[in-house]
Amino acid sequence: MIERFLGWLGDTSWSVALLESLYVWPLVESTHVLTLGLFVGTTIMMDLRLTGIAFRKVPATAFTGRLLPWTRFGFAVMAATGLLLFYSQPLRYYHNIFFRAKVVVLVLAGANAAIFHAGVHRNAGDWDEDTTPPRAARIAGAVSLTAWAVVVIAGRLIAYNWFDCDLQPQSAWVNRLAGCGVGAAGAE
Amino acid sequence: MLEPFFRWCESTALGRAVAESVWAFPVLEAVHLIGLCVLGGALLVVDLRLLGLGLTSQPVARLARNARPWLVGSLVLMAATGVPLFLSEAIRAYYNTSFWVKICTLPVALTFTFAVRERVARREADAPGATGRIVGGVSLALWFTVAAAGRWIGFS
């Protein structure tokens, strides 16, 4: 079902136009990559504070308060451009193991952020000035650093077709992870 | 005139090794991007502050001092991955306009960052004035040019 929907999506004229465009696709892709500096960049700085590795004299709430709007704005740009890129080649990305890994880790990173904000960040006033934040905050920072690094690396590797379904033979585990096989015939 | 030098670059052992490996180029690219993320964060924390945005409750000098090791570290990481990436396709780079935009803007950005911006950031205490705002804006514009031209090398 998903396959048929994505196949239809990729055949829509806007999807084809986006993929085949000389400048729009590269511009969308470039925006996606450059916004990494804003979104992941500010996230890393916040995580360095939460882990107590850097900015130890800067109150943690300065990062979660004053810098977070910039992080959120960066995320919005990344999500918008990312969805456009997905829309340009839905089936190919759907069957790309790096894309799949990226989505899984993205969800983990999101859950980690949600747990942090609903949990230890609620009483941030109590540990705001601590050079070494409480354990829960340090764990949240470390998980975030790791998760976003994996997302960036997996995201970059999506461009490579080593494990694409139409490049058979692939080992069984690759075909399984990429969802190749019956019904994957439409993968480009 | 420089073309023989670029040919020599591509013929180096490191350049050949990266070009001939399936994984080396993509992995170097990915780590180069991690460097971009850290660089972006280390720059923005200070530049936004100079522009009167972001961490406005903090003195510029403190933010700049704290961000400095990450700024320098990310630049070292980007150079360590960028040089082998370049060596693997030096001749292609030679004929690539984006590469030249990047490689000419980079020394300007580096000089501005460590000669001008660092001095201003150290001096600015609480409320950056017009100088601070200009320096923050120029810094972001220079590094944006380096990054955008860098990404465009792959498209042109």
Q: Which residues of B touch A36 (CB under 8 A)?
A: 33, 36-37, 40
Q: Please answer yes or no on whether A157 and B30 come within 8 Å at the CB atom.
A: yes
Does B145 score more than 70 pLDDT?
Answer: yes
Q: Please answer yes or no on whether A45 and B29 come within 8 Å at the CB atom.
A: no
CA angle A160–A162–A164, rounded 5-degree value: 95
Q: Which residues of A touch B36 (CB under 8 A)?
A: 33, 36-37
pLDDT at site A81: 97
pLDDT at site A186: 43
**Percent of chain B beyond pLDDT 90?**
86
Q: Please answer yes or no on whether A156 and B22 come within 8 Å at the CB atom.
A: no
| Cα(B54)–Cα(A155) distance, integer angstroms | 28
pLDDT at site A50: 96
Nearest chain A CA: its distance from B62 CA (Å): 8
B33 → chain A, closest CA residue: A152
| Cα(A37)–Cα(B70) distance, integer angstroms | 13
At A65, list the tokens: 């308060």
Q: B154: phi > 0 → left, psi -120 to 50 → alpha, else beta; which?
A: alpha
What's chain A's length in residues? 188
By Cβ distance, the residue of A44, A58, A67 closest to B37 is: A44
Chain mean pLDDT for chain B: 94
Chain centroid to CA A74 = 12
Query: Does residue A57 sit in helix, strand or coil?
Result: coil
Contact B41, A44 (CB under 8 A): yes
| Cα(A33)–Cα(A102) distance, integer angstroms | 15
The residue assigned the tokens 């590269």 is: A26
Count of CB contacts below 8 A, A vs B?
106
Nearest chain B CA: its distance from A182 CA (Å): 29
| Cα(A104)–Cα(A106) distance, integer angstroms | 5
- pLDDT (tens digit, 9 = 90+) per residue, B107-133? 999 999 999 999 998 887 666 788 899
Nearest chain A CA: its distance from B63 CA (Å): 7
At A73, list the tokens: 């704005």
Model confidence pTM above 0.80 = yes
CA angle A118–A124–A127, rounded 5-degree value: 140
| Cα(A43)–Cα(A50) distance, integer angstroms | 10
DSSP A164: -
By Cβ distance, the residue of B38, B54, B66 closest to A67 is: B54
One digit per residue, pLDDT tens: chain A, 188 residues? 889 999 999 999 999 999 999 899 999 999 999 999 999 999 999 999 999 999 999 999 999 899 999 999 999 999 999 999 999 999 999 999 999 999 999 999 999 999 999 999 999 989 999 999 999 999 999 999 999 999 999 999 999 988 888 888 888 888 888 888 754 444 44
Contact A101, A154 (CB under 8 A): yes
- pLDDT (tens digit, 9 = 90+) per residue, B81-97? 999 999 999 999 999 99
**Percent of chain B beyond pLDDT 70?**
98
pLDDT band at B1; cut points 50, 70, 90: confident
Contact B153, B102 (CB under 8 A): yes
Chain A residues within 8 Å of chain B (Cβ atoms): 26, 29-30, 33-34, 36-38, 40-45, 48, 54-59, 62-63, 66-67, 70, 148-149, 152-153, 156-157, 159-160, 162
| Cα(A100)–Cα(A94) distance, integer angstroms | 7
Nearest chain B CA: its distance from A5 CA (Å): 30
Q: Please answer yes or no on whether B62 and A57 come within 8 Å at the CB atom.
A: yes
By Cβ distance, the residue of B55, B66, B147 closest to A37 is: B147
| Cα(B130)–Cα(B124) distance, integer angstroms | 11
Q: Please answer yes or no on whether B69 and A54 come within 8 Å at the CB atom.
A: yes
Q: Please answer yes or no on whether A67 and B155 come within 8 Å at the CB atom.
A: no
Most A-contacting residue of B66, B98, B145 (CB-CB within 10 A), to test interface: B66
Q: Please answer yes or no on whether B36 and A36 come within 8 Å at the CB atom.
A: yes
- pLDDT (tens digit, 9 = 90+) per residue, B7-51? 999 999 999 999 999 999 999 999 999 999 999 999 999 999 999
Q: Which residue has the higher pLDDT, B57 or B96?
A: B96
Does B78 score more than 90 pLDDT?
Answer: yes
Chain centroid to CA A59 = 27
Q: Using CA atoms in the order B100, B104, B110, B113, what is the torsion angle rounded to 10 degrees?
A: -110
Handedness of CA A82, A86, A114, A130 (dihedral sign): negative
